[in-house]
Amino acid sequence: MAPLLDVQNLSTSIKLTSSTVHAVDNVSLRVGKGETLGIVGESGCGKSVTGLSIMGLLPPGGAVTGGSIKLNGRELVGLQKEEVRRIRGNQIAMIFQDPLTSLDPTKTIGYQVAEPVRLHRNVSRKAALDRAVEVLGLAGVPQPRERLDNYPHQLSGGLRQRVMIAMALACEPELLIADEPTTALDVTIQAQILALLRDLKERLGMAILLITHDMGVVAGHTDRVCVMYAGQVVETSGVVPLFRETRHPYTRALLASIPRFRQGRENALPAIPGLPPDLSRPPRGCRFAARCFRATEKCRAEEPPLTGPTSAHRYSCWHPLNEPRTLAVSGVDVSGTTGTDLVAPDARSPRTADGIRTSATEHKPETATANGDREGPLLDLRNLVKEYPVGSNAVLRRNAARVKAVSDVSFSMPAGTTFGLVGESGCGKTTIGKMIVALERPDSGSVTFGGVDVAKLRRAELRRERRDLQLVFQDSHSSLDPRMRIGSIIAEPLHAQHWGSRQARRERVFELLAEVGLPKNTVERYPHEFSGGQRQRIGLARALSLNPRLIVLDEPVSALDVSIRAQMLNLMTRLQASHGLTYLVVSHDLTVVRHLADRIGVMYLGKLVEIGSGSDIYERPAHPYTAGLIAAIPLPSPAAEHAKKEPAITGELPSPVHPPSGCRFRTRCRFAQERCAVEEPEPRSFGPGHLAACHFPLRTATPPETTADFAG
Amino acid sequence: MSVLVVIGVSIFVFALLHVIYPSPARDVLGLRAPQMAVDAWNKAHGYDDPAAVQYLRYVKDLLHGNLGYSYIENQSVLALFEGRMARSAYMSGISLALAVLIAIPLGVFQAVKRNSIGDLVVTSTAFTLYSMPVFFLGLLLIQVFALSLPVFSFQASQSTSLLTVIADWHAMTLPIATMTLISVAAFSRYMRSSSMDVLAQDYIRVARAKGLPERLVLLRHLVRNASLPIVTLVGLSLPQLLTGNLITEQLFNYPGLGLLFFDSLKKADYPVLLAYTQAAAILVVAGNLIADIALSIADPRIRLR
Amino acid sequence: MWSMFFPFGRRRATEDRADEPVLDRRPLPLRRATGNRLAVIGFAMLIFFLLFSFVGPLVYRTNQDVISLVDANQPPSAAHLLGTDANGFDQLGRLMKGGQTSLEIGLFAAVVAVTIGTLWGTVAALSNKTVDSIMMRVVDVFLSVPFLFVVLILAVTFVPSVLSLSLVIGGFSWQVPARLVHSEVLILREQDFISAARIAGTPPWRLIIRHLVPNTLGVVIVNMTFQVADAILAVAYVGFLGFGLQFPDVDWGDMLSDGMQYMQAGYWWLVYPAGVCIVLTVVALNFIGDAARDATDVRLRHR
């Protein structure tokens, strides 16, 4: 049977002012009718450009330079513009990453969804609107008819992505290209959208080309997978064999560098050293060779062909991995040998793999609290409240609406430990981080750090206190002054605290650069000359400069690619061990928090709902929200993903301006009853150090019906 | 907000008047009148009251539509403005409308065909026009279209009837073209960059992904979004428009408010000068307010907030 | 030459470091490449006019003091390369003299406007909300009054000199830089790197010197070039309407206005050279400003 989409030897390049980027090089792939093909890879690997090439929507300067794209046997490359246009939106539809910017802000939802119908089906306005209602319903938009007259800004991100999907479905396309359809969404919404796509595919029998960077999404929602690296397909097979019989070292490394659930931070993550190659000057030979631990002379000289024992599983590698995979997803830890094997030797220096493992173990909670026991908790938050007025003119309107960013949050953490704060966007986790470092003052409540209430300090005292309290920002772009050299950026805290002489500060900067693994000449350069991962290292060096006791890490790796992320996580773990640091990690990514933290607090709409050790939270969650959040994370294991059924948490996040009464989660909770709307649940104990605030918890409280305090 | 700005403007204009022209007594009584007579006249007409009292009287007059009295012309300022007002409004209004109508498609064209020969030609022309004083542009047009090729008249219509003025394209083409071209230059530059911003937006890509022909992509999804910043810009460019009016009317001897201002400058007829400045400032504030309202109608994000 | 004006204009990593990975793969607008060329042209033109106006008279010596009606309105000749005007002054020499005043007023007025505007905008943005909104309403008020009207009224009242015209033009055109700097500082204030500096314990004055000033400098310098251009145009308008500098001082607008009455007589040298000088100078400044804006924009709004 001929495939629906048959791409052969596709090459696409994009002309820039000074160079030409060979974004896609000799890529072949097929999508059968009703099949989902996943294209997975890191940013800049050419996966999106492949999708855009098929659609004929390349950016200015982009052009298909070779190969063929056949849809139902019909060649699309070189087709008249008018002909391509008739296929677009009709036989092939596409949805994009960011639903917030993908809808025209000045046109109604109804108009935008009906537009392709009127264009391709030549029907009346009324019939097109009826079709719009139908597909909006299909895409799970509640009350679709009422939504027709809405404008995009009136809908939440999740709903907008549903509108985008409805728009794509409007003409019943045979192929849907979904380019990172859930990357901009919260994890619970992501689960809903992915489930919707899978459901639609089955009901409508359309094929999907799913482009993603997330191995978890691939595992659960595709039939076959193409792994791309530096513009080429390096491995392709059915989804199950890909995970079970991984052959290409890059695929393997990518899988290994994802932090696992059931795995704390006993082991350093096997990271891929270095950066992907520059595609305006692609290297000779295998493009992964420079980062591959198996690379030989042959790899650097000759390009490996994409072949395999069967046409179903092919890979381009001179030295494929033959042994059965030891990196399992469900429970089996990375064994020491494979773990270190994956890291190229030069990347491990100056540290040794052994060093990482022992030091990380030392800092398990039991051993690390020695310090804390003596002095009490290093950081103690009591009844923190923070609200922000909404609207630009809030000063004049006293009773303006207020966003309840943080409502009565208490917890504490001993020195030398890592506390993880997780939750979806808008849950108030970042605000707490800012209050801890005194960037924001709480409306009420206290932040006690080393016995001092930070929120009540006067300016001079606060400045002294700042030596011990530092923050690493999420956005490494805006957190480094673009007009300052790296040397001055890192030395800034030293300068501000009158630390040492000029010479001593200079020495200290070199020392810090070495610690975060950056060369000495970095000091002379400017932030824009560095990649995201390198800039994040610079931010870390700055935070470390004064030898602080506590560092708040605000989404420290969420802007980074998987392989770079693992490098960064390892670095943070190593620095904590060598400096005896206390971390507060704020993140939406549960796997990251799980990997770093000893204790974890789960937040929802400004409230702490559950707190406990990593295994409490991930293996014995008591709060339905925690359980749902964990279930929503796509796991890099087809078996685990296929076992999941419905999305655990339905509905949209309520407005933080008017949070629900009683338990704030009740509007999305399966177990909610009347009591949840009336009475706010008190935290109850579910084991040593494990508390949750829920009237109908998933586990029995121990001892039953005793309330406790999160801070306790 | 606009009210506050109008109050601020009236204080500013009054202060200016108060400082450079404290009393019209010398204009009334003559330069050689004795100081005592001047003082008496001031007392009789309230010009020795405290500044605040005078200001309040000034505002009260303004609210009653009394813009002051020109002792040099022996006429109320309002009477001087009447008749001229319509002529100026006609010329500015039609130039503004033409400028917007030309600049929007031009800017879109430039953005779509960016860096093509056509774009380069339009961009450099706009750049030169933008850098050109209004009077020099007018002179060039006169040289080419009135002197070298006598197609149009180098003097604008002198008729007091607005209808005659409108019908007299022979006389009116050059002044209107002068003002239009200057505004087109500014507007098209902004329209080009705003269109380029919109072209880079995801929803344009989505519109193309729907299979819309490029013409419809531009018409339905680009023009409106890209024009939104132009609405504000038109509001903000009103002061330049009034300045352009002043120069153009002087150059083409068109009896509108600008020419009146110019004539009053020569006679140092301050009540007229400041009344026009005041009126112009209020017009600018009103224009910005209208632009804001227009923007909130055109942009649902503002309308439904 | 470029770095003289842009101490922060830096080489891009990708241009001179082959070993570094290309980080920013977005297609850059062609305009930036041509933008630099236009800036070079702009600089060349500007320097030409500076030399022409200030060094020119030393090389091309002419009589600009004694009226000589015998020589009035001569067409261009070997003795008078651009002819003479109604007073018998050499037109080319007069252009140089007019250029001096036009450029001086333009530059000085721009300095006045940008200084007031920058201070006003910065103070407003760093003050509390009430002070801020009062200060910005004041800007709105001054923005609403067509400033040329006020300049003309004042020019009628006071005898204009280079100094007074500069002060008046500068004193009424600081609103735009004030707004620009205000919004720039407001954006900067919320940037993470400012928070980072605060967390480090950096005192406020140091925040201003180390972070705010260097980061707003680009906007200020860009606006400065546009201000010079606008001020030169404003002088031309005032001169054209006949309320400019007093005889024997002269500026380009003045000359053009004087020459206009001879247009029908065909004395082109009395009209067009002055007009071309104004246009070319302003074009040059706008070229520089545009290119500088593109250059600073790319680095400021990198994402």
Q: Over 70: is that where the pLDDT of A359 sits?
A: no
Residue with tokens 């008729």: B159
pLDDT score of C25? 30
Which of C133, C134, C193, C297 to mutate to probe the A interface, most A CBs <10 Å?
C193
Q: Does residue C1 belong to any structural domain of this protein?
A: no
Pairwise CA distance, residues A689 & B73, whole Å: 92
* Min Cα separation C156/chain A (Å): 42
Q: Is the pLDDT reported for residue A355 higher than 70?
A: no
Residues in chain B closer than 8 A to A87 (CB atoms) = 211
Hey, is the C-beta of C119 within 8 angstroms of any chain A C-beta? no
List all residues of chain B from 229 to 288 with a beta carbon under 8 Å from chain C.
236, 239-240, 242-243, 246-247, 250, 261-262, 265, 268, 270, 273-274, 276-277, 280-282, 284-285, 288
Centre a 10 Å sphere on the Cβ of residue B94 and count the other Cβ atoms it contains.
15
Q: Is C192 an interface residue toward A (CB < 8 Å)?
A: yes
What band does C297 get if pLDDT is binned at 50, 70 and 90?
low
Encoded amino acid at C292, one letter = A
Inside any domain, residue C82: no
Chain A neighbors of C195, CB-CB under 8 A: 434, 439, 471, 473, 479
C-alpha to C-alpha distance for A112 and B210, rounded to whole angstroms? 10
Are A401 and A391 a contacting pair, CB within 8 Å?
Answer: yes
Between A191 and A647, name the one with better pLDDT.
A191
Which domains are seen in chain A, by residue range?
A: 5-213 (3.40.50.300), 232-347 (3.40.50.300), 377-468+548-711 (3.40.50.300)
Mean pLDDT (chain A) is 83
Question: CA-CA distances (angstroms) from residue C101 to B135, B228, C53, C254?
Answer: 19, 40, 9, 11
* Residues of chain B neighbouring C179 (CB-CB closer than 8 A): none
Angle at A180 between CA A91 and CA B114, to 5 degrees: 75
User: Do the chains contact at A16 and C27, CB–CB below 8 Å?
Assistant: yes
Contact between B300 and A93 using a beta-carbon 8 Å cutoff: no
Provide the residue range defining the domain that includes C111: 29-72+91-300
- Average pLDDT (A92-108) is 88
Residue C137 has its nearest CB partner, among B5, B127, B274, at B5
Probe site for chain C from B233, B265, B270, B289 (most C CB atoms < 10 A): B265
Asked whether residue A474 carries a pLDDT value surpassing 60, the answer given is: yes
Q: A395 and C215: CB-CB below 8 Å?
A: no
Beta strands in A104-223 (DSSP E): 175-179, 207-212
Q: Which residues contact A253 (CB under 8 A, 6 or more apart)?
A: A270, A272, A291, A342, A563
Instruction: Name, in order, each residue with C-beta under 8 angstroms of B114's C-beta and a sequence gap of 6 or more.
Output: B192, B196, C29, C30, C31
Q: Residue A90: its chain B contacts at CB < 8 A?
A: 211
Asked if residue C229 is part of any domain, the answer here is: yes
Say whether C27 and A469 touch across the interface (CB within 8 A).
Answer: no
Q: For residue B92, give the 3-state DSSP assignment.
A: helix
- Average pLDDT for A478-497: 89
Q: Does the beta-carbon distance from C256 to B136 stay under 8 Å? A: yes
Q: Choose among C10, C14, C196: nearest Cβ to A473.
A: C196
Q: What is the mean pLDDT of each run of 10 residues along chain B (305 residues)?
A: 82 84 74 79 78 83 79 80 83 89 91 83 86 87 83 79 79 88 87 86 89 88 88 82 84 86 84 84 86 83 63
Whether the pLDDT of residue A343 is over 60: the answer is no
Mean pLDDT across A111-117: 91
User: Listing from the earlier edge strand, what are the strands of the sheet with A452-453?
Assistant: A402-413, A379-389, A444-449, A452-453
Q: Which residue among B133, B262, B285 places its CB closest to the CB of C144?
A: B285
Q: Which two tokens stand for residue A682?
A: 């008190």
User: Which residues from chain A sit within 8 angstroms of residue C188, using beta carbons?
Assistant: none
**Helix or strand (DSSP H, E) at A403:** strand A402-413
B20 in C contact zone (CB under 8 Å)? yes
B148-197 residue pLDDT tens: 888 888 787 777 777 877 778 888 888 899 989 988 988 888 888 888 88
Residue B74 contacts C where some CB pair is shorter than 8 Å? no
pLDDT band at A634 (very low <50, low <70, confident <90, very high): confident
CA–CA dist B65, B82 (Å, integer): 12
pLDDT in tens, C61-109: 777 777 777 777 777 777 777 777 777 778 888 888 888 888 989 999 9
> Residues of A with CB below 8 A from C12's CB?
528-529
- Give A55's contacts in chain B (Cβ within 8 Å): 209
Cα R_g (chain A), whole angstroms: 26
Q: What is the phi-psi region of residue B20: left when phi exceeds 0, alpha when psi lies from -120 to 50, beta otherwise?
A: alpha
Q: For residue A256, what pLDDT band results from cuts at 50, 70 and 90?
A: confident
Residue C5 maps to a domain: no
| Coil, strand or helix at A74 | strand
What subunits make at least 3 CB pairs under 8 angstroms with B? A, C
> For tokens 């009589």, what's the residue?
C63
Cα distance between residue A166 and residue B206, in whole Å: 13
pLDDT tens digits, C80-91: 777 777 777 788
Size of chain A, expressed as the number of residues it contains: 712
* Closest partner CB to A470 (pick from C199, C206, C215): C199
- Residue A588 has phi, psi (to 5 degrees) of -90, -10
Residue A42: the pLDDT is 86
Residue A611: pLDDT over 90 = yes
Report the residue of chain B nearest C38, measured CA to CA: B124
In this complex, the residue of C14, C200, C300 whose CB is nearest that of residue A493 is C200
- The burial of A338, by beta-carbon neighbours within 10 Å (0-12 exposed, 13-18 middle, 19 or more buried), is given as middle
At residue A708, the pLDDT reads: 64
| Partners of A385 in beta bridges | A407, A444
Across the interface, which of C144, C145, C275 has its CB nearest the CB of B136? C275
pLDDT > 50? residue A334 = no
Mean pLDDT over residues C16-27, rounded? 30
Q: Is the Cβ pair C141, B127 closer than 8 Å?
A: no
**What pLDDT score was predicted for residue A326?**
47
Residue A549's SS3 state is coil
> How many angstroms separate the CA atoms of B25 and C142, rounded?
29
- Considering only CB atoms, which chain B residues are within 8 Å of A115? 207, 210, 212, 220
Q: Do B246 and C148 touch (CB under 8 A)?
A: yes
Residue A209 sits at φ, ψ, to 5 deg, of -105, 105
Q: Is the pLDDT confidence value at C303 over 50? A: no
pLDDT digits (tens, 9 = 90+) for C147-164: 888 888 888 887 788 888
CA–CA gap between residue A65 and residue A481 (Å, rounded):
40
3-state secondary structure of A384: strand
Q: Does B76 touch chain C (CB under 8 A)?
A: no
CA separation for the pair A476, A584 (Å, rounded): 18
Q: How far apart are CA C51 and CA C59, in angstroms?
A: 10
How close A463 gets to chain B, by Cα (Å)? 40
Residue A409 has pLDDT above 50, yes or no: yes
Residue of chain A minimizing CA distance to B226: A106
A270-321, pLDDT tens digit by residue? 778 888 888 888 888 888 888 888 888 888 888 888 888 888 888 888 888 8
Chain A residues with at least one Cβ partner in B under 8 Å: 55, 57, 82, 85-90, 93-94, 96, 98, 101-107, 115-116, 119-120, 151, 153-154, 164, 167
CA distance B81 to B241: 18
**Dihedral Cα B207, B208, B212, B218, nearest 10 deg:** 70
Mean pLDDT in residue range A355-360: 34
| pLDDT(A373) > 80 | no
Per-residue pLDDT band for A400 (boundaries 50, 70, 90) equals low
Residue C102 lies in a domain: yes
Per-residue CA distances from B101 to A456, A545, B98, B181, B230 (Å): 60, 59, 5, 12, 12
Q: By percentage, how much of chain A surpasses pLDDT 90? A: 17
Mean pLDDT, chain C, integer: 77
B212 contacts in chain A (CB < 8 Å): 85, 89, 115-116, 119
In this prediction, residue A1 has a pLDDT band, given cuts at 50, 70 and 90, of low
Identify the bridge partners of residue C84 per DSSP, sorted by sequence position: C90
Measured N-to-C along each axis, helices A562-579 and A249-256 cross at an angle, to the nearest 10 degrees, of 50
A115/B209 touch (CB, cutoff 8 Å), yes or no: no
Distance CA B256, CA A664 (A): 67
pLDDT cut 70: percent of chain A above it: 89
Instruction: State pLDDT tens for residues A138-174.
Output: 888 888 888 888 888 888 888 888 899 899 888 889 9
Task: Mark yes or no for CB contact B209/A93 under 8 Å.
Answer: yes
Q: How many domains does chain C have?
A: 1
Domains and CATH numbers, chain B: 2-66 (no CATH), 85-302 (1.10.3720.10)
Cβ contact, residue pair A496, C195, below 8 Å: no
pLDDT tier, A38 (very low <50, low <70, confident <90, very high otherwise): very high
User: Alpha-carbon distance A297 to C228, whole Å?
Assistant: 62
For the segment A663-668, the average pLDDT, to the nearest whole number, is: 90
Establish if C16 belongs to a structural domain. Answer: no
Closest CA to A193 of A228, A153, A166: A166
Per the model's pLDDT, the better-predicted residue between A707 and A303 turns out to be A303
**Strand A232-238 to A418-422 pairing:** unpaired
> CATH number, domain at C113?
1.10.3720.10
Q: In the Cβ-directed half-sphere of B102, how many Cα atoms lie within 13 Å?
A: 18
- Asked if B304's CB is within 8 angstroms of A101's CB, the reply is no
Q: What are phi and psi of C85, to 5 degrees?
A: -100, -170
- Which of A12, A14, A15, A17 should be substituted to probe chain C, the one whose Cβ sees the most C Cβ atoms within 10 Å? A17
- Measure in Å the smallest separation between the Cα of C14 and chain A Cα atoms: 8
Best residue in C153, C264, C282 for a mutation probing chain B (most B CBs within 10 Å): C153
pLDDT of residue A353: 36
Neighbours of A615 (CB within 10 A): 13
Verify whether the Cβ–Cβ distance B211 to A105 is below 8 Å.
no
**Interatomic CA distance for residues C89 and C87, integer angstroms:** 6
Inter-chain contact C215–A481, Cβ cutoff 8 Å? yes
Q: What is the pLDDT of residues A540-577, one digit of tens each?
A: 999 999 889 999 999 888 878 887 888 888 899 889 98
Test the C interface: residue of B115, B116, B135 with most C CBs within 10 Å: B135
Tell me whether residues C211 and A475 touch, CB distance under 8 A.
no
User: Does residue C267 belong to any structural domain of this protein?
Assistant: yes
